[in-house]
Amino acid sequence: MCGIVCYIGSKEATPILIEGLKRLEYRGYDSAGLAVTDGKETCLVKEVGKVSRLEEKIKEDSCRGTMGIAHTRWATHGRPSVPNAHPQTGEEDKVFLVHNGIIENYLSLKEELLKKGHTFNSETDTEVLVHLIEEYYEGDLAAAVKKVLRLVQGTFGIALFHRDSPDQIVLARRGSPLILGIGENEYLAASDVNALLRHTNQVIHLKDNELAILNRDDFSISDFQDRRVIREAETIEWGQDAADKKGFDHYMLKEIFEQPDAVENALRGRLLEGEGVSHLGGLEGVLDRLKAMERIHFVSCGTSYYAGLLARYIFEKVTDFSVEVEYASEFRYRNLRLDEKTAVLAISQSGETADTLAAIREAKRKGALCLGLVNVVGSTIAKETEAGVYNHAGPEIGVASTKVFLSQCVILTLMALLVGRYQRLSLTEGLFITRALRKLPGQLRRILDQAPRIEEIARRYAQYHNFLYIGRLYNFPIAMEGALKLKEISYLHAEGYAAGEMKHGPISLIDPDFPTVAIVPRDSTYEKMINNIQEIKARDGKVVAVAAEGDSEIAGHVDDVISVPRSIDILQPLLNTIPLQLFAYYIARERGCDIDKPRNLAKSVTVE
């Protein structure tokens, strides 16, 4: 959600901070600000709206200095406004602080401060931190921060400096990511590694309840009990050019077209084709325990939840596991059987999703084997789970996930294949799956070659305001994911439904102004899907079908057809996903939407 960028070194801080904020725009925000100091004067500039508006304001009010902090805010406490934007300051304008997260007990803390005579200038929970630090500051900023954070309940990633300590930035985290960047004679920090890559690929991830001090010539890390932490820097495996648009109009379109490569990366070194099995090094240490499990729960949010829904069908097909899929945000409210015979797999693109982290911590408390599937190396979920698998999909900048979703589906299939070959899956069946997996990248490229035709179809449907997406069996989760993509980036109402539920309510919505996108593979559900389409056409509804290549029958039942190559049943949904992504993208573009930064949404949801 919110974004943090910090710099201390010998260069002018403002251009580095602004560039870093622009690298974080995809996370979602509604205001931005920075504070830069030259050791004598501190420049504070804040603005509502885009980072570009902040940049224009700075041109009028020059900010010079070699140390500073910057922030993009996604409003929680208080509407988007200049007073509520970060950095927040106190009554003396000596402490400058940026904050990601939510301080849950801010009201009680604020009441105590009001009794002591403090006055507040914003509606934010963050300003409480500033006033508390002012209260406790006695010349040692880090010591004051630690005292304050022992009083705080909630989540935070904070960065701050004090006017009286112009050569020091203090950072701290609990539940909201912060990453240190180790440069040449300079140090940086950010809430997302993407903001650091233009300057360094050497990073250190702060863990929960840790504090870092950045000076001009060194840094240190300790926990909140003043114990020193020694941690080696990690090398980020992809460079800044991987996060550029490379000639595409939007990051989302670029990432859709990167999906064949993302699938190849997900498969690389992970298929033992002669044995019809997968090899996942990240699970080797727990493989014996995993094989002995009776139950597995997938916990995730948003698009990752739909990947889990598809995985449920696949695991039930090829393994002996009893499978549950849970919204991570609801997981803690259920009285589930979680014990040594239960595995819980957290699925998260960022590895920082707050609800998914909370679900993992609950599962660990009850004795389950906790695993992770994430794209970001060193992320919190990767560190807090016992084992897991990385996507290696490269950076995904577009808020609406595309290539990571497909990568998740591939890796979940590999997990099912791995376990299944120790259970019910025969060698012949394993070979059948591995060979189909190998064909996926080439088949995906063939679908992407149809982008101009999909754009033409999308343009015809861009004026409608409501859509129904339907599918059965493996393609039911894909119908929901397709509807989500349209909602996210075009702001149109779309519902994903199991096609068998048509007569239980949704059919009442069908009319000439309510088109349906139907996923119609040539599998055991084909005849039933045709029946559903007939019901829609009988009510003058328009239908766009995603259907198999060579299906000569489907065109006679629908208004438009997008053909995709055929694969085995459990992998067909992966191919059917691409047309739905492109359909949503081209409709959003036709409607003039901000595709990479859709309103009210954030790439990484780090608050519950």
- Residues noted as catalytic: 2, 603
DSSP string, 39-89: SS-EEEEEEES-HHHHHHHHHHS----SEEEEEEE--SSS-S-TTTSSSEE
The token pair that represents 188 in the structure block: 């940086």
For residue 144, give every residue at least 6 positions away whose Cβ sits within 8 Å of its Cβ, in sequence order, or none.
Answer: 133, 136, 137, 138
Residue 459 backbone dihedrals phi, psi, to 5 degrees: -60, -35
The residue length of the chain stands at 608
Burial (CB count within 10 angstroms: exposed 0-12, middle 13-18, buried 19+), residue 303: buried
Amino acid 258 reads E
Measured CA angle at 396 (ends 52, 252), to 5 deg? 70
Max Cα–Cα distance, the chain, nearest Å: 79
Beta bridge partners of 204: 180
Cα separations (Å) of 531 from 292, 494, 550, 551? 42, 21, 20, 16
Q: Which two tokens stand for residue 239?
A: 């460079």
Report the SS3 class of residue 370.
strand
Crossing angle of helices 13-23 and 51-60, in 10° steps, is: 160
Enumerate residues 6+ apart whose C-beta is below 8 A from 458. 582, 583, 585, 586, 587, 590
AA identity, residue 365:
R
Sign of CA dihedral 333, 337, 338, 342: negative
DSSP letter, residue 300: E
Looking at this protein, which amino acid is placed at residue 283? Answer: L
CA distance 267 to 280: 10
CA distance 376 to 394: 8
Taking the mean position of all CA atoms in its chain, how far away is CA 226? 32
